[in-house]
Structure 1
Amino acid sequence: MKKIQPKEGESADIVSENIERLKELFPEAFSESGVNFDVLHQLLGDAKVLDEGEEKYGLNWHGKKRARQIALTPSTGTLLPCPEESINWDTTKNLFIEGDNLEVLKLLQKSYANKVKMIYIDPPYNTGKEFIYPDKFQENLDTYLKYTGQVDDEGMKFSSNTESTGRKHTNWLSMMYPRLKLAKQLLSQEGVIFITIDDNEVATLRQVCDEIFGEENFVTSIVWQKKVSPSNDATWFSSDHDHILVYAKNKLIWRPFKLPMNERQKSNYTNPDNDPRGNWNSATYTCNKDSDERPNLYYPLVNPNTGQDVWPKKTAVWKYSREVSQKHAEENIIYWGKDGTSNSPRLKKFLSKAKGVVPRTVWLYSDVGHTQEATKVLSELIDDIKFDTPKPVRLIEHMLRISTGGDSEEIVLDFFAGSASTAHAILNINANEGSNRRFIMVQLPELLESESYRSIADIGKRRVKEAGKKITNENPDATFDQGFKVFKLSSSNIQAWNPDRQDLEQSLLSQQEHLIEGRSENDILYELLLKRGVDLAVPIESREVLGKNIYSIGYGVLFACLDESINKDQVEEIGQSIVEWHRELAPSSDTHVFFRDSAFSDDVSKTNMAAILEQSGITHVRSL
């Protein structure tokens, strides 16, 4: 039985994965001693990899190298399950995670890499006011644990006032860079990220995203009209809009879904000629090419009302070939004006055949909501709270319609969740459309001076609960997942080897139990899911054998018996029970089985358990 190693208690090792990819592409650049960079440069083409030093183009700041390294450093934390704070724990596939999003994004890598369809974030705008997530949070998990009161500390308070530090852009960039780097890894090839930002950092954010996602994957910058009325006390201009940057994981693959028409757009369709096919709109029949460029599109159309040949202008020929125009004429969808004699025909487009409209880059508050609406919606759900700058539910629904089809369990991630507007939008759109998008919300439990709520994360959880109730009351026949599993970032359940050099004997004795005292079987199970790359929403079943709980995770992907004591007389029955359950499900040679290392009374019992399982084809037997 193989013992789990300390490295296996970490999140995905992105550096190692990058090296393996390079080995696959350029095996000749690797040897036993490491990477031969001269060979690698030659294979890439020297002209393309030359570093031009200070004159090279790109965004640089003091601390960028450190920020990049932080993204590559694995996390040794875990996510502790909190069923008592959750809704529909056993059935829901939605997640609400409390914790520093840098650590959480690392922990999600193995389970959700390349699986997220859409990311929306509303990060701090860096306006000069305080924002949490300072540099200290990037050092290690201990800082976060002290801040959240999980380990003792004397009044630890974290904030980063960018004006007083004199590093306005530097602190913000060092905070954003590693998080965006990790977020990209989670996006699927068909995935897209939306980021709201204002004028303070939009230019900087654009450069960061160009570097991380690739300039070629920039889709657009949207202008969102966020205010109903101007700010007349503004010194220069009233700031009435925010920007929404849109980047695809792979722009060659990603395409936006067309949007349903609103009532204003539908009103553009009329039926002036009483066409039995219903209301229609018309489009120009010419294009912007001239007769020299497209001689095949320069030909006459016959007006059926006058019998005359109608030629296009030589500077703007017909949009369609002769064959297509003939088909249009036969279908009677060429419109010749009110009196039927126009020399500028148009093509009829029927409302009944309209497939939606292409998204535009200006989003009016009448279509997607504004900040006042967002505040009102939140206060109607939770009347005992004041929350700054929530985003409108309709704004995020608009993004969801553009980037997700709703016909499969598409995962949507928001790792600056705030008051959880994104989760609210997903519940709402799922209930109204009968779809089943899933959400993962991540929010730092930033402490509040409030009698009702300890942290911002508490506000987010309360909002999702209340939103689910309200939507259900308004849509009693709707079937949608209104639940969510709550997890909280903490240190690993597996003890790290940290010997006392002055008392090695005591250190060895204390390491006999490899799991943290006081952690539940549930805590350990979910760390196993994270470390093995299993979706945290998979079903977990349990059976009792000889008073011990045996767990099957994800229909037999993992089995575990985490009881603190398995004596030699119990080994045979527990082992055979796992074997039989494994056979009932989909037998797989890749199935893993876990036990506590300290549970076995002796090494013989441990060896016998491994032999029973391995004889039945279960070769991955591990001890914790």
Structure 2
Amino acid sequence: MDKLKMHSKNLIEANIDKLAELFPTCITEVLDTKGELKKAIDFDLLRQELSSSIVEGPQERYQLNWPGKREALLTANAPIAKTLRPCREESVNFDNTQNLFVEGDNLEVLKLLQETYLNQVKMIYIDPPYNTGNDFIYNDEFVEDSEAYFEQSNQKDDGGNRLVANSESNGRFHSDWMSMIYPRLKLARNLLRDDGIIFISIGDDEQANLKRICDEVFGDENFLGCACRVSKKANNQGDYWSPNFDYVLTYARNLASCPVFFGGVNYGAYDQVDSEGPRAGEKYQLVRLYMTSLDPMRGCVNQRYYIEAPDGTLLLPPGNIFPALKEDAASIPPETGEDKVWRWGKDRYLSDKDRVVVKRVRSSNLVDDKGGEVKWNVFTKTYLNDVINNSTAKPNSLIEDHINQNSSHELGELGIPFSFAKPSSLIKYLCEISKVRQGDIVVDFFAGSGTTAQSIFDLNDSLGFNARFILVQLAEELTEEDKNHKAGLAFCKKNGFPGVITEITKERIRRAGNKIKNAEERNIDIGFRVLKVDTSNMKEVYYKPDDVDQDLLSDQVNNIRGDRTTEDLLFQVLLDWGVDLALPISQQVIADKTVFFVDGNALVACFDTGIDEDFVKQLAGYKPLRVVFRDAGFATDSVKINVEQVFKLLSPATEIKTL
């Protein structure tokens, strides 16, 4: 049986595999530092394959460079030996929710999510530090090579000092910020679907550098535009201009697959919901079917016909009643003298008759003591989804209706103290124009106060579906010395929370979810699973050539860290196998063993000891797609040897691994 690798994807190896597909003759083998053979690229042969397209040495070229870029690229590609541990007590509706909140360094989280959510994300929104000289950036640790980075990643998990002030006196002020954002964007690109889109809020200080980085990471051909957002009301601050704008840089994963943006709609007008039929649950509004008459020579002749009312009378716009002498949809002769026609032609009416609503309304132009004359009128159902999917109107690149002051109001309503948050209406608007739909994943790896989560809740509430979110935020400590932290620190103390930003984020998401009325009845997902970055669940052994007394075996009989639960092990398996971390999980006791079932039989896991053949046969009877056991969990070596044969006989499609 194969063992799970228990570390994040090695992107260098993935890149070598891609080159191997294109240039198999350029692949060779070399000895690594441990004396083991590994696949490598023969650059001399590759150079020959690309001889007419190589740029090297002093030859001029268009490029973006800065001190630290090489190390930043290494940081993006190197694997880490870490995992995500579930935290049920801080989650909401852990077993059924599709939403994730991940607490940890976003660079590490992006690495851990590479296999599970590769090409799965519809939209990314981030609001990174603007690098104004007064904010903080991630203090990434660079090492000489990927192996050293990998080993270092499993030796500690300390998020307390991951942020550092980047003052303008720093000699690498712009370079440090670029080295911080570059690897995160490279990893984020891998998560986007082919029709995926990334929106990045940024200010004047780094807008130009961010644009060039994004051109390199996403390709300048995938640049969709830079919108200007009115961030605050006009004031008299600033040395020359009074600053009240920031920017939203927008890139597609693949321009050829990117849908045209949706220009917006008055959601409040769609105030009715179909209760039955093929479009049950969809929102719609009623629109009158008649319109002013057009010249018959322009094609309106086919728009003159009778429509039958519920009482059997036949109607012609605008609600006149004619003798019931003709069948429904029969053409009306010109001599009737009517100067109105239906908005739909006869063929459209007959094909879409299920969308026609005939009801009595009061006429506003004939008022009696009851408020008007009751007449029949004809309407059509205009569905919100049709408008969103088919509209050709484009949104304006000047975003005026989502200023930061709105965020202060909504956070105040929730009782959440947080400085410099974006308004949830902004991210909801970006979801709308990029056509986020049912089941689509929206990622924000600079989550801050959790604005994106509230945006998704509000989006789902408005449109009646369940888009999903994955939020990532570092557990940054709140201090009395930082004036922007004081209110948050007091909030945490009052509520009995640890004094870190993520506690405010999680509480904001809980309260935002509770604002959604009748969420359970309407099947709107207002929950979230909390996962936390930690060192690997597996004990790691590092060979030290200079230590002649090193004992590599005595502590490996049980290779699981002592403080880890079986659910911790399960989530590392999900990561390693690339299984969605939000799938439903259930437990069963089979032959006195605890068994996890992920999404039915998509993955079955048992980490108990004493596994025998009878138990293995029972498990094989469920015919799981994947099954995993603890490597040291088998009762005997013969059981371990026979497991594959048992599954080959009873469930041949099952893939088996151990940890």
TM-score bracket, normalised by the shorter chain, equals 0.7 to 0.9
Aligned to 2:83: 78
1:439 aligned to 2:506?
no
* Paired residue type of 1:40: L
| Amino acid of the structure 1 residue aligned with 2:535 | S
Aligned equivalents of 2:142, 2:521: Cα separation in 1: 45
Contact 1:26 1:40 in 2 (8 A): yes
Tell me which residue corresponds to 2:357: none
> In the alignment, does 2:452 pair up with 1:403?
no
Alignment-derived partner of residue 20 in structure 1: 17
Q: Does 1:244 align with 2:264?
A: no
Q: Which of 541, 549, 569 is 2:594 aligned to? A: 549
Question: Distance in 1 between the 2:292 and 2:157 partners?
Answer: 62
2:95 aligned to which of 81, 84, 90: 90
Partner of 2:121: 116
Deviation at 1:518, TM superposition (A): 1.5
Distance between the aligned counterparts of 2:577 and 2:534, measured in 1?
18
Asked if structure 1 preserves the Cα contact closer than 8 Å seen for 2:136 and 2:166, the reply is yes
Matches within 5 A, 1:203-602: 203-228=208-233, 230-262=234-266, 277-278=290-291, 355-356=390-391, 358-366=393-401, 369-383=402-416, 385=417, 387-406=418-437, 408-449=438-479, 450-453=489-492, 454-472=499-517, 478-499=522-543, 502=547, 504=549, 506-563=551-608, 565-566=609-610, 571-582=612-623, 591-602=625-636
Q: Is this contact kept in 2: 1:117–1:412, CA < 8 A?
A: yes
**Cα–Cα, structure 1 residues 507 and 36, in superposed 2: closer, same or farther, change >3 Å?**
closer
SS in 2 for 1:97: strand
Q: CA deviation at 1:623?
A: 2.8
Considering fraction of residues, name the structure with more strand: 2
What SS does the aligned partner of 1:213 have?
Answer: helix
Label 1:361 to 1:171 Cα distance change in 2 as closer, same or farther (>3 A). farther
Alpha-carbon shift at residue 47 of structure 1 (Å): 3.9
Specify the SS of the correspondent of 1:173. helix
Q: Distance in 1 between matches of 2:242 and 2:45?
A: 57
Indicate if the aligned counterparts of 1:548 and 1:561 stay in contact, CA closer than 8 A. Answer: yes
What's the offset of the Cα at 1:77?
0.6
AA matched with 1:551: F
Q: CA shift at 1:594, angstroms?
A: 2.0
Q: Is the 8 A contact 2:123 2:443 kept in 1?
A: yes
Q: Confirm or deny: 8 A CA contact 2:111 2:187 kept in the other structure.
A: yes
Instruction: Indicate the SS of the match to 1:255.
Output: coil
Query: Counterpart in 2 of 1:622?
Result: 657
| Shift in CA distance, 76/576, structure 1 to aligned 2, threshold 3 Å | same
- Evaluate the alpha carbon distance shift between residue 157 and residue 608 of structure 1 in structure 2; reply closer, same or farther with a 3 A threshold: closer
- Pairing 1:147–2:159 present: yes
Q: 2: distance between equivalents of 1:276 and 1:609?
A: 68
The residue number in structure 2 matching 1:338 is none
| Structure 2 equivalent of residue 322 of structure 1 | none
Considering fraction of residues, name the structure with more helix.
Answer: 1
Are 1:432 and 1:478, in contact at CA under 8 Å, matched by a contact in 2? Answer: no
Q: What displacement does 1:541 show?
A: 2.5
CA distance in 2, matches of 1:614, 1:461: 45
Q: Give the Cα–Cα distance (whole angstroms) in 2 for the partners of residues 143 and 166 of structure 1.
A: 31
Could you tell me whether the CA contact under 8 Å between 2:607 and 2:629 is conserved in 1? Answer: yes
**Aligned partners of 1:136 and 1:143 also within 8 Å:** no
Q: Percent of aligned positions with the same letter in both sequences?
A: 37
**C-alpha distance in structure 1 between counterparts of 2:641 and 2:520, whole Å:** 56
| One-letter amino acid of the counterpart of residue 412, structure 2 | S
Deviation of 1:43 after TM superposition, in Å, equals 4.0
Q: Does the CA-based 8 Å contact 1:137-1:144 persist in structure 2?
A: no
Q: CA deviation at 1:179?
A: 0.1
Equivalent position SS for 1:599: coil
The AA in structure 1 aligned to 2:616 is G
Residue-pair matches, total: 529
Give 1:511 deviation, angstroms: 1.7
TM-score (normalised: structure 1): 0.78
RMSD between aligned residues: 3.1
CA distance in 1, matches of 2:292, 2:177: 52
Write the distance in 1 (CA, Å) between the matches of 2:603 and 2:44. 44
**Cα distance, 1:542 vs structure 2:** 2.2
Q: Structure 1 residues 126, 256: closer, same or farther in 2, change over 3 A?
A: same
SS in 2 for 1:234: coil
Which amino acid letter does the alignment assign opposite residue 359 of structure 1? K
SS at match of 1:412: strand
Structure 2 distance, partners of 1:276, 1:620, is 59
Which letter does structure 2 place at the counterpart of 1:402? I
Conserved 8 A contact 2:105-2:159: no
Q: 1:612/1:47 Cα in 2 relative to 1: closer, same or farther (>3 Å)?
A: closer
Q: 1:434 to 1:238 in 2, by over 3 A?
A: same
Gaps of 5+ in 1: 149-155, 267-274, 281-302, 306-325, 333-348
Question: Distance in 2 between the 1:210 and 1:327 partners?
Answer: 49
Distance between the aligned counterparts of 2:269 and 2:179, measured in 1? 44
> Is the 1:257–1:405 contact (alpha carbons within 8 Å) kept by the matching residues of 2?
no
| Closer, same or farther: CA 331–533 of 1 in aligned 2, 3 Å | same
Change (3 A) 1:604 1:365: same
C-alpha displacement of 1:249? 0.4
